[in-house]
Amino acid sequence: MSDELLINVTPMECRVALIQNGTVNELFVERTVKRGLVGNIYKGKVVRVLPGMQAAFVDIGLSRTAFLHINDMVWQKNQPTPNVFELLQPGQILTVQVMKDMLGTKGARLSTDLSIPSRYLVLMPYGSHIGVSQRIESEEERDRLRSIIERIQGEHKLPGSVIVRTAADGIDEASIAQDMCYLVKLWEYIQRKQKAIAVPSLIFEELPLPQRVIRDLANENTAKIYVDSREIHSKLQDFVKEFVPNMEQHLLHYPGERPLFDLYNVEEDIQKALQTRVALKSGGYLMIDQTEAMTTIDVNTGSYVGGRTLEDTVFKTNMEATQVIARQLRLRNLGGIIIIDFIDMQEAEHREAVMQHFDKMLERDHAKTKITQVSELGLVEMTRKRTRESLEHLLCESCPTCQGRGYVKTAETVCYEIFREILRYARAFESQSGFTVVAHPSVIDRLLTAEAPAVADLEHFIHRVIKFQVENLYTQEQYDIILS
């Protein structure tokens, strides 16, 4: 697989697209005024302890207090779960790390079990074990890496747990030792700063997006890293030389007049990723609906009838859908609970083949995914780890007309609401003054045409005159009734 990283920089934001085999599979956006918080370490103060939830709210200096659950705290895990009051008290000072960004109305999710990443390793200062990424499948390589870490920790008496990242596969001991030294120095710096600063304050800020994606995503499959900013390219050269020297020859400045994202059709893919309907090449399509509680994905055959039988058509559509769904999950950064409604298949071997292929497609995902079960109704229930806002939540906001429902009341429904409101007004006000209805053009048009007989009957019933006034700035659901 040939990968390319495209880094598009403007004064307002930085965007990174991961291209795999010519297709956009992941997109990262970081706006200058609203950088992500995941990985940041803060000195905070406990504001409120919630014994019923075994959790606490912590002030770390953000617009909303952050949330800390007891399962995300450092304590002897082989012991019974303590009461939250045994670990936390209001006013207590804590060093915490952001695990999840603020999402919607929810504050950031915190942990006291700090983790500090580098290119090849993750240092967890309060732990006591050595772990190796499950993506490194060779048992011989896993043992080699584990023995290297044990040797380095033994020689230098280094504290904490160390997790070996996938990028360390095949890397020599000297490079890993250098990575470890960097992490230890960084941890010592964090400890010094933690003692010196006030509460609440930022102790350590994660790397900017360009450096972060190179650290986390660039690997032996990365053919090119294009940057369209000369200044950022220069900064990345220094970063790559220091931390990822094997990527130095792959890092290139893109000076072209045509925008970098246009060259790879990324802008078009972003627009498509904000739509509910996703077309399949066969003629089928997906319907993706993202809500506060979960995301649902419905697979449909659409115009595709290319199979020899109905079962064959359904099977081929579902097989194509697995690949597109896996890509859409990454591109849209959909997280939490995801329900997928594949088209019903009669043959058990077809159902098994679709699930196996879906599992294989999900292996490419950098976020942790888990298929929990296939329900009796044939729905695939899965989860995907969510650490940052989805693309839709990042780039869009709720529609002011429908408040995010995705629909508005019909003009007919609004007319009947107006009739009921006029009746209430007529009973409430003894004055013989008439009423003026101010509403959207479509509502006024219906009141003067289809509902004209009902308006006449209402005027006769309340003995008042009803007038109408168009207001183009109103939404279809908005209206006012004024005593005239």
Q: Which residues pair with 116 in a beta bridge?
A: 123
pLDDT number for residue 213: 92
> Half-sphere exposure of residue 30, counting CA atoms within 13 Å on the CB side?
19
d(CA 254, CA 265): 16
Interval 265-289: pLDDT, tens? 999 999 999 999 999 998 899 999 9
Measure Cα distances from 346 to 211, 304, 310, 312, 350 in Å.
49, 18, 10, 10, 8
pLDDT number for residue 77: 60
pLDDT number for residue 215: 87
pLDDT number for residue 310: 86
pLDDT number for residue 90: 94
Pick the closest to residue 47 from 37, 36, 27, 61 (CA basis).
61
- pTM of the predicted model as reported, rounded to 2 decimal places: 0.79
Residues of the chain with pLDDT under 70: 1, 77, 304-307
Interval 394-424: pLDDT, tens? 888 888 888 877 889 999 999 999 999 999 9
pLDDT number for residue 57: 96
pLDDT number for residue 143: 93
Measure Cα distances from 314 to 255, 282, 292 in Å.
47, 11, 30
Distance of CA 416 to the CA centre of its chain: 41
